[in-house]
Structure 1
Amino acid sequence: MKTLQNSIFFALILMLFYGCNILPYPKQNQTFSAIFLGDSHIATDDMASGFKNELFDKINSPGFATALLPKYHLNSEISYQNNGFEILNSQNNNNAKKYGFCGVNALAKDSGASIELDAKNFNTLFNFQISFIGDISIIDDTKKSYKISNNTQNFKSESLKLKFPIKIIANKKNTTISNYKITTNTPIYVSSCGINGASSGLYKKWQINKNDLNYDLVVIAYGTNDAFNDNLDEAKFYQNLKELITIIKSANKNAKILLLSPPPTPKPKFTNVKNMIKKLAKDEKTLFYDIEDFINKTGSKTKWIEQGLSQKDIHLTRQGYKKVGENIAKTLKNKILK
């Protein structure tokens, strides 16, 4: 693990961030997990990748993954092959009765529909947790077959010991898969849960269980799409994020929470959104990181575009997101590691 001297359990204090949170880092045989929740800036896992690559020489678990990936989304740890499942996205206002954590369902259009998962960077047995409704069979690389069912109307998680590649088969039409969590017994991983177009209240469509928020660090990155609403109810925006923080704290009192203000957006409400996120971080004593401030300190939006780090619209490039993730990690480290 990079620069972690003598494998000591470090406590990192962020002077750039509000609050008094202390973020633990693992020594040998200890664990670390983080998840980035957000909108299109998180829909690929580039920011999370920059973060984890700066902190760790190697991760040992894929971590969290949605059942399938909507268009323009990316998970660099997991590859998918879909045969007969429909992707239902909580952002698209379709007719799914409910969504699991992260808001992306895979619905079997008929019995026999299948999803094949692979993680080429990992070659070991994993604790494979799947959240689903219905009846499924699973076959892994050892050729063992498992059948599990959940006949309730709520998502339920089942855990198996599996090795990639993994094939998941729906035994009944309308079987619905929400997500996976794939870990070792002492996991180190950083995952993403982002949806294009998501705004601050999208999580209210999701069924969130206590286990869904079992992370050392939860990063919340909403605000860009809210800023596009000229009639934004600022009090509601603030309350949406505050309620999400309350859910996280209730599920996991030990989780550290980091609020990100979004990259610069040419919309009148952007400054209001950024200031409310900053205020909320102070009020709730969470960590805070200002992406616009980092971009300005390392040039400007214009220079980031010239350097291939930002697109001309509201988005950064993949390299730009990785650079932000790396800087978040560097900020954490450099405040304690002299």
Structure 2
Amino acid sequence: MFSFPLKYIAALMTTLGILNAQAQPTPQTPNPSTRPNPQISNKPSSNIINYSPQSQAWQDKLRDLAQGKATQFRIVQLGDSHTAGGYFTDTLRQHLQQKWGNAGIGWVYPAAVSGQRSTVVDYSGSNWQLLNARRDTAAFPLGGILARSKTQQSLVLNPKDTGTQQISLAMRPIFSDSPLKITDATQKATFAYSLHGNNWQYFTLNAQPPIRIQAADNALWEIGAIQFENQKSGVTVSAFGLNGTQLSHWQKWRADWENDLVETQADLIILAYGTNEAFNDQINVAQTQKIWQENIDRIQQTLPHAAILMIGAPESLKNRDGVCGTRPKRLSEIQKMQHQIAKEKHLLYWSWQDAMGGECSMNRWINDKLAQNDGVHFTPQGYQFLAKELSRALFNLSIKKYSQLK
């Protein structure tokens, strides 16, 4: 048999190895634009992590709803522009009420806020002065918005829900010996008198919207949030969002804002902050964490039977360079802080970023027309998708006796 010398065989094997290596495809960095649309793909989603103690009253109430029992479950979401835009909370309200019943629209601001959407109530006839905690100084109630009366002017609110409503409003007389006059669609007039001096107080009535609120001539009143409930079983979702705000801005509210929180009778408080904090390169994360913890302590002391859901800040970008873009310098720190607080304070936690598909997801969402080109905000379709993810997570939580801690 003819044979090659060993040195030729070795040389031939080496050459084949080189050719084989050259024939292997070069690994390619994924192109975000070629990834499937998350609305139709089987992409990873985010469940709620439950760090709260077992057998809480809010859990029992949530299960009662899931079992068709007659009760009201009230949700209050506090947040920044992701809340103020309305698309997220509108979809959350719609899906929860479709499954568990419509108990009303919940709490709304007393008048339209410039630059923000109003979808659950129509405002008209309002020439009252609107004050915003982002730029003004006042004794703001929960949510950071109030309307101050003007002579011979009125506030008119018409919620999308029809029929007789139970209406509650936060009110404060600055200079007035006369009551507020509230007129409904039937022209029935109700007079709200001050019973607690010049302090914030609450007045409740049954009326058929639209309602018109008017102060007497030469009187000065302030109105805070207004609640509309239809007294049926189901869910309400109240949205208190302001563009550009941070949770630390709560210090601009009145010192005893817990009294406003009591009036909401909230079963679930959703905290949807973190984006504006992440874009502040100079933020002191340790000090921010302390402020958040103190405010969460106040919520838990005020509503001990309610749950608090911490929403981790979404993926966002300072620019779109490269495949993933450039994240805000402090975003990861803020997200880590939020998750740590949720664990330490025994909250619920839902990662907005995980619901998007994790880090390096924003460019894909922009290409899929689910996020805006600014790398921060989402399109209506994006907010709607995310709200459906959260509502699905709440549905899952309602059927579990207790979620395993992670």
5+ residue gaps in structure 2? 1-45, 174-178, 317-326, 401-406
Measure, in 1, the Cα distance between the counterparts of 2:207 and 2:398. Answer: 39
> Aligned to 2:109, which of 66, 72, 86?
66
Assess if the C-alpha contact under 8 Å between 1:45 and 1:191 holds in 2.
Answer: no
Decide whether the 8 Å contact of 2:315 with 2:359 is kept in 1: no
**Aligned partner letter, 2:277:** D
Amino acid at match of 1:329: S
Q: Secondary structure at the match of 1:91?
A: coil
Q: Which residue identity is paired with 2:151?
A: S
Structure 1 unaligned segments of length 5 or more: list them: 1-13
Q: Which residue of 2 aligns with 1:42?
A: 83
Preserved CA contact (<8 Å) 1:107 1:177: yes
Identity of aligned residues (%): 23
* Matching of residues 245-256 of structure 1 within 5 Å: 245-256=296-307
Aligned amino acid, residue 88 of structure 1: L
Report the Cα offset of residue 302 of structure 1. Answer: 1.8
Residue 31 of structure 1 corresponds to which residue in structure 2? 72
SS at match of 2:113: coil
Aligned counterparts of 1:52 and 1:142: Cα–Cα separation in 2: 28
- CA distance in 2 between partners of 1:336 and 1:118 (Å): 32
What one-letter code is carried by the residue in structure 2 that aligns with 1:64? W
The letter for the 1-side match of 2:158 is D
CA deviations on 1:224-254 (whole Å, 9 max, x unpaired) are: 1111221111122112221221121111111
Residue 60 (structure 1) shift: 3.1
- Residue matched to 1:312: 373
1:189 aligns with 2:236: yes
Aligned to 1:115: 155
1:127 aligns with 2:166: yes
Once the two structures are TM-superposed, the CA of residue 336 in structure 1 deviates from its matched residue by: 6.3
Q: Is 1:106 equivalent to 2:147 in the alignment?
A: yes
**Structure 2 counterpart of 1:125, one-letter code:** T
Whole-angstrom CA distance in 2 between matches of 1:174 and 1:196: 27
Aligned counterpart for 1:95 among listed residues 134, 137, 144: 137
CA drift of 1:298 comes to 11
Q: Which SS does the other structure have where 2:202 is aligned?
A: strand
SS of the residue corresponding to residue 331 of structure 1 reads helix
Q: TM-score, normalised by structure 2?
A: 0.74
Aligned position for 2:24:
none
Q: Secondary structure at the match of 1:175?
A: strand
| Residue aligning to 2:190 | 146
Greater shift, 183-192 or 99-108, is seen at 183-192
* 1:223 alignment counterpart: 274
Q: How far 1:323 sits from its partner (Å)?
A: 1.4
CA contact (8 A) 1:263 1:315 kept: no
C-alpha distance 298-230 of structure 1, shift in aligned 2 (>3 A): closer
Question: Which range moved further: 232-241 or 283-292?
Answer: 232-241
Q: TM-score, normalised by structure 1?
A: 0.88
Tell me how far 1:263 sits from its aligned partner: 1.5
- The alpha carbon displacement at 1:61 in A equals 0.8
CA drift of 1:190 comes to 1.0
- For the residues of structure 1 that align with 2:92 and 2:47, how far apart are their CA atoms? 18
1:156-305 superposed matches below 5 A: 156-171=201-216, 172-186=218-232, 188-207=235-254, 208=257, 209=259, 210-265=261-316, 266-296=327-357, 300-305=361-366
- Contact map agreement 2:168 2:226 (CA 8 A) in 1: yes
Matches of 2:238 and 2:86, distance apart in 1 = 7
| AA at the equivalent of 2:239 | S
C-alpha distance 251-218 of structure 1, shift in aligned 2 (>3 A): same
Q: Which amino acid aligns with 1:132?
A: M
Q: Report the AA paired with residue 279 of structure 2.
A: F
CA contact (8 A) 1:221 1:261 kept: yes
Deviation per CA, 1:234-287, whole angstroms, max 9, x where unpaired? 122112221221121111111111001122233101111010001000101101
Deviations 1:118-148 (A, max 9, x none): 123x222211111111242110012111122
In 2 relative to 1, CA 95–257 (structure 1 residues): closer, same or farther, beyond 3 Å? closer
> How many equivalent residue pairs?
321
Larger radius of gyration: 2
Alpha-carbon shift at residue 18 of structure 1 (Å):
4.1
Let me know the Cα RMSD of the aligned residues: 2.2
Equivalent position amino acid for 1:179 in 2: A
Amino acid at match of 1:45: G
AA partner of residue 73 (structure 2): F
Alignment partners' CA distance in 1, 2:367 and 2:81 = 22
Aligned to 1:321: 383
